[in-house]
Chain A
Amino acid sequence: MDISQQIAQYIITGLTIGAIYALVAIGFNIIHNATGIVNFAQCEFISLGGMFMYTLVVPLKVKLFIAFFISMFAVALIGALIERGPIRHARSKEIIILIFLTIGISEVLRGTAQEVWGTDNVGVPGFSGESPIHLPGGAAIVPQHIWIFAITVLIVLMLHYFFKRTLMGKAMRATAVNRQAAMLVGIPVNRMVLLSFAFSGGLGAVAGMIIAPISTTSYDTGIMLGLKGFAAAILGGYGNFAGAILGGTILGLMESLGAGLISSQYKDAIAFFVLLLVLFLKPEGILGYGESEKV
């Protein structure tokens, strides 16, 4: 295997993991833009997506396709309930308090998941088998990688369409820009916030589901992916939609190229260093520009 083939492999790997980070980062951004908070329960959305799908597909033998949608909507519903319950009824609306609240919610969800599923990691079958595919460049992937790309791209396109072309999507952006102005044109702001939590839940669940056949899943898989996704969001510019995609991709590539070409022992350190460097040079993130377009 020559070096160009190796690099092709590193890039493919980096892009796959990066796609997951990007989905998680978008989830963080959507809630941030609607409410101004960092929702740490995002990590649990990922774990729950994976575990719901595992439960439906493996012990309950539900068709994968159906299980995918059931899990996605179930976690979206959990996201909505988090907003409708504790977040909306929190006595204090201070951002920092709400963030701590999401940490608490996150602990409760994880504890519950641990009670329900135990602590074992479990595997989920690939969406269409696990026989490797050899790409022209010399890299090898499994069909799940194609699923990860395809689903991520599809979701990004759908979100783009939703936010740019539908009135509801525009209303969500408007709410993010100026809550009071949104109220004055008659946008039901609370419902937009509710929707943002449901979206984030669904997105987190999808990230957890599409990675599960590769990484296996457990009640707490979401912690690491969630934190990486959070880092990706910051790297790209917190709150910025394109930034999330860019940040996720860069982080994924840094990790895999760093591990492959420099040192696997320091790959996280390398990625972390790049993150710090970017934030040092541009504290608002690569595509962050203060008060400008969010979502």
Chain B
Amino acid sequence: MKKKLLMTVVAALAASLMIGMPFSYCAAPIKIAGIFALTGRAAHIGTSQRDAVLLAIDDVNAQGGINGRKLEMVMSDTESNPTKAVIALKKVLESEDVVAIIGPTLTGTAMAMRGFIEKEQIPTFMHSGGDVILTAPLKKGDPSSTPKWTFKSPYKAADAMGKICEYMSKHGIKKIGFLYSNEGFGKDGVRNVMVQAPKYGIEVVAQEAFQPKDVDMTAQLTRINAKGVDGIIAWTVGPAMGIIPKNVKQLGIKAPLFECHGAGDPIFWKVAGEAGEGVMMPSTKIVVGDQLADNDIQKQIVLDYVKAYKAKFKREPGTMVAYGADAALIVIEAIKKVGPDRAKIRAAIENTKGYVGISGIYNISPEDHNGLAMKDIVMIKATKGGWKLLK
């Protein structure tokens, strides 16, 4: 009798262990590295993107993982700092066997990590806004030495800038001022606006910089305004997204304000408050899913994703979430297709064609490691605490 009871207990215990870890028991997990700006000035972006990636991974694991193996993310923090980003990268590559990297968040951190990634030959899908991470040569003086292993999910800044200029020229804006944060992403914006604006017959009459942590930009805006501009583009992410609209309002500047393709995020309203009203920006469709035309092939995908995101994190996703999600989904798709092999994953990502993501339809090729086009971008206007899709 006693023996029987003991056997039952042992069996129950074994069963509970089996249920508790169905996959890890069978096979070791496939690991990817997630490198985000979890603290520091871009923390609000990094944490959004981390959540988006976590959601994608949970999803895959809930469906049984990849070939019975669980997917696991090893997470590290760049602290929004290029040096720390490289340290985090080296650390994770030394200590873990990862097949791909997702992140980092900021252009500056991405630039610092690029060289090492190429050397280590590990496919990396970045969330950084600046185009330089794809276009700048790795070797000085050799324009063909662009990265092979790096991809990026957000729109090319050139396209986002083009989208703004296109909108401006449609609305008769001809003379603009450009205000940018004096770091990787902002400087990338300067290069882009100087190329894109002339294409649409727009003249950039003022370029002003500020430090990413500055608390007041009225001096720069006064200078811009003195040039008699009829439009202003502010190219930055972080708290400055909210400070600039406040300063514009304070100075009574009438010229409309445009921000970058990272501004369409709930954080914008948190930092800008009422002053945010009327600011326009290029964005993914994630923040205006319900305003999309019914025949938009992204509409259902976007709405479903937003629903899942809200259910898991109890808050509204911003445009940054879309970039995070797409990076993760494309990487997962590639691993599913070719298995946990770095070179094969890289090739599979490079071969992604017609992938309908949240940010747009990705057509990645050896020449284009982003794969999105200007048509994927929408212009939105900050309206009453939310977003209005502009036609």
Contacts and interface: CB of A to CB of B under 8 A. Distances in A.
- A and B associate in one complex: yes
A260 interface: yes
A224 B41 CA distance: 11
B223 A264 contact: yes
Contacts of B43: 118-120
B222 A10 contact: yes
A125 B216 CA distance: 16
Contacts of B38: 119
Contacts of B211: 267-268
A214 B215 contact: yes
Nearest to B47: A119
Nearest to B274: A130
Contacts of A268: 211
Contacts of B225: 1
B252 interface: yes
B219 interface: yes
A254 B215 CA distance: 15
A178 to B, nearest CB: 39
A15 to B, nearest CB: 11
Interface stretch (B192-200, B243-251, B366-374): B243-251
A9 B273 contact: no
A214 B216 contact: yes
A266 to B, nearest CB: 8
A103 interface: no
Interface in B206-248: 208-211, 213-216, 218-220, 222-223, 225-226, 238-239, 242-243, 246
Interface string A255-270: 1110110001101100
Given A119-B38, A119-B44, A224-B213, A1 B226 contact: yes
B135 interface: no
B270 A123 contact: yes
Interface string B46-58: 1100000000000
Contact of B219 (A10, A214, A221): A10
B352 interface: no
A211 interface: yes
A214 B246 contact: yes
B252 A140 contact: yes
Nearest to B212: A224
A102 B295 CA distance: 60
Given A140-B250, A140-B251, A264-B208, A123 B271 contact: yes
A86 interface: no
B275 interface: yes
B271 A1 contact: no
Contacts of B226: 1, 3, 6
Given A130-B246, A132-B250, A264 B271 contact: no
A274 interface: no
B215 A142 contact: no
Given A120-B44, A264-B208, A264-B209, A17 B215 contact: yes
A16 interface: yes
B219 A259 contact: yes
Given A10-B219, A17-B216, A123-B272, A216 B242 contact: yes
Which interface class (under 10, 10 to 19, 20 to 34, 35 or more) fits B? 35 or more
A141 interface: yes
Nearest to B220: A264
Contact of B222 (A16, A125, A260, A267): A260
A256 B219 contact: yes
A21 B306 CA distance: 43
A110 B20 CA distance: 37
Given A130-B275, A140-B250, A264-B210, A215 B270 contact: no
Nearest to B266: A120
B39 interface: yes
A260 B215 contact: no
Nearest to A260: B219
Contact of B267 (A10, A20, A120, A223): A120
A265 B182 contact: yes
Interface string A209-243: 00100111010110111000000000000000000
Interface in A1-57: 1, 3, 6, 9-10, 13-14, 16-17, 20
A121 interface: yes
Contacts of A218: 239
Interface in A115-140: 118-123, 125, 130, 132, 134, 140
A264 to B, nearest CB: 4
Interface in B319-375: none
Nearest to A58: B270
Nearest to A266: B209
Contacts of A180: none
A98 to B, nearest CB: 26
A198 B223 CA distance: 41
Nearest to A131: B249
Contacts of A221: 215, 239
Nearest to A225: B215
A121 B215 contact: no
A16 B44 contact: no
B44 A215 contact: no
B270 to A, nearest CB: 5
Nearest to B242: A216
A26 to B, nearest CB: 18
A112 interface: no
Nearest to B227: A1
A248 to B, nearest CB: 14
B317 to A, nearest CB: 14
Nearest to A255: B219
A242 B319 CA distance: 48
Given A9-B222, A142-B250, A218-B239, 6 more contacts: A121-B44, A216-B243, A221-B215, A224-B213, A256-B219, A264-B210
11 contacts: A13-B218, A119-B40, A121-B242, A121-B267, A123-B270, A130-B274, A142-B249, A215-B239, A216-B270, A259-B210, A265-B182
Interface of A: 1, 3, 6, 9-10, 13-14, 16-17, 20, 114, 118-123, 125, 130, 132, 134, 140-142, 211, 214-216, 218, 220-221, 223-225, 255-257, 259-260, 264-265, 267-268
Which 5 residue pairs across A and B have the least CB separation, nearest first? A119-B43, A215-B215, A121-B239, A259-B219, A260-B219
